Chain A
Amino acid sequence: MSKTDDLRWVTQLTLLGDKSAFDKLTCKYQSPIRRFFLNLTMGDAPLSDDLAQETFIKAYLNINAFKGISGFSTWLYRIAYNVFYDSVRAQKHYADLDEHVVDCQHQTQNDFSAEKLDIYKAIKQLRREEQTAVLLFYIEDRTQNEIARIMNCPLGTVKTYLLKGKEKLNVYLTQAGYGN
């Protein structure tokens, strides 16, 4: 399914109010958006699902604001990014999570928890902006330009986030034995 499908579904929704078109968009993007939140919240599945739900509802309510300049997925990630940072500002929730708590949450909430711990430990080495940039670049396969649009910052800043993130992760992963 291509970007043309996205545009067709967005047009059906905006012009005709066709809800089934949004159902298709949600179905297509639920996995990447939920995965993005899952990594940002260090594996808190219920919280990431709540945030993803909020993202899709906001997208639905503001669909008329989508101008089609960037792709629908970039626009959706931008909303997701804002939802996440609004949530962080409101709760200051994730900063207090330590690895033990995360570990416990994984064991009870996720089937894939054991293998996922390494990635959360690695991500925790980074500052929040670096985490976002690195996750978007390496996991969500976004380009640097798209990340700049999603994070609403200059391209140079994104490059700096990625460079610093890479440096920190390399040191961490090498020490954890991944480079061998």
Chain B
Amino acid sequence: MFTSHKPVMETKDADKLLKDFFGEHKQEIQDNGFTRRVMRKLPEQADRSWIVWCFAFVGMVLSLMLGFSSGSLQAAISYLLQIPIYYLVGVIFCFPLVSTAGLLLAGNRRF
């Protein structure tokens, strides 16, 4: 196709030349509404979140049944009843605060 006037470069130099050339011409394309247009064109699909609830329900029922049959659930309840009510109320009120702080920390680490 071409008549070469210059000697062809060594493989290492040739590779570097190509990497530099394509590196120079590599571009990031701005979204400019592309993602929105794609999302608008996607066909509707059925909501399958019921699967999660279904599995959660079955899991809860199974664990309750196992807890009752092994007696560990009764033991846990009797243990909880021995704890002073103020401690339990304290734990219940602290839970949202602690979990929010945990989520915030996790979020900060991630981004």
Identity of the chain B residue whose Cβ is nearest the Cβ of A171 in the assembled complex: B2
| Proximity string of chain B (1-39) to chain A, C-beta cutoff 8 Å, 1 when within and 0 when not | 110111011000111011101110111111100110111
B27 close to A166 (CB less than 8 A)? no
A26 close to B4 (CB less than 8 A)? no
A30-B29, A52-B34, A174-B8 known; A139+B22 contact, CB < 8 A: yes
Contacts of B29 in A (CB 8 A): 30-31, 34-35, 38
Q: How many residues does chain A have at the interface if contact means C-beta atoms less than 8 Å apart?
A: 42
Contacts of B109 in A (CB 8 A): none
B35 close to A23 (CB less than 8 A)? yes
B17 close to A179 (CB less than 8 A)? yes
A49-B34, A138-B19, A178-B21 known; A16+B48 contact, CB < 8 A: yes
* Docked pose: A36 CA to B17 CA in angstroms: 20
Identity of the chain B residue whose Cβ is nearest the Cβ of A29 in the assembled complex: B35
Contacts of A53 in B (CB 8 A): 34, 37-38, 41
Identity of the chain B residue whose Cβ is nearest the Cβ of A119 in the assembled complex: B25
* Docked pose: A23 CA to B36 CA in angstroms: 8
Closest CB in chain A relative to B43 CB, distance in Å? 7
A27-B35, A34-B34, A38-B29 known; A57+B41 contact, CB < 8 A: yes
| Proximity string of chain A (49-79) to chain B, C-beta cutoff 8 Å, 1 when within and 0 when not | 1001100110011000000000000000000
Closest CB in chain A relative to B5 CB, distance in Å? 7
* Docked pose: A22 CA to B25 CA in angstroms: 29
Beyond the given A35-B29, A170-B17, A178-B21, please list 13 additional residue pairs across the A-B interface where CB-CB is below 8 A: A17-B46, A17-B47, A19-B39, A22-B39, A26-B34, A26-B35, A31-B28, A49-B34, A57-B38, A116-B27, A139-B26, A166-B14, A170-B8
Residues of A within 8 A of B (CB): 15-19, 22-23, 26-27, 30-31, 34-35, 38, 49, 52-53, 56-57, 60-61, 112, 115-116, 118-119, 122, 125, 138-139, 166-175, 178-179
27 A-B pairs (CB sep. < 8 Å): A16-B51, A17-B45, A17-B47, A26-B39, A27-B31, A30-B34, A31-B29, A31-B30, A34-B29, A52-B34, A53-B34, A53-B37, A53-B41, A119-B21, A138-B19, A166-B14, A169-B18, A170-B17, A170-B18, A171-B1, A172-B2, A173-B17, A174-B4, A174-B6, A174-B17, A175-B4, A179-B13
Residues of B within 8 A of A (CB): 1-2, 4-6, 8-9, 13-15, 17-19, 21-23, 25-31, 34-35, 37-39, 41-43, 45-49, 51-52
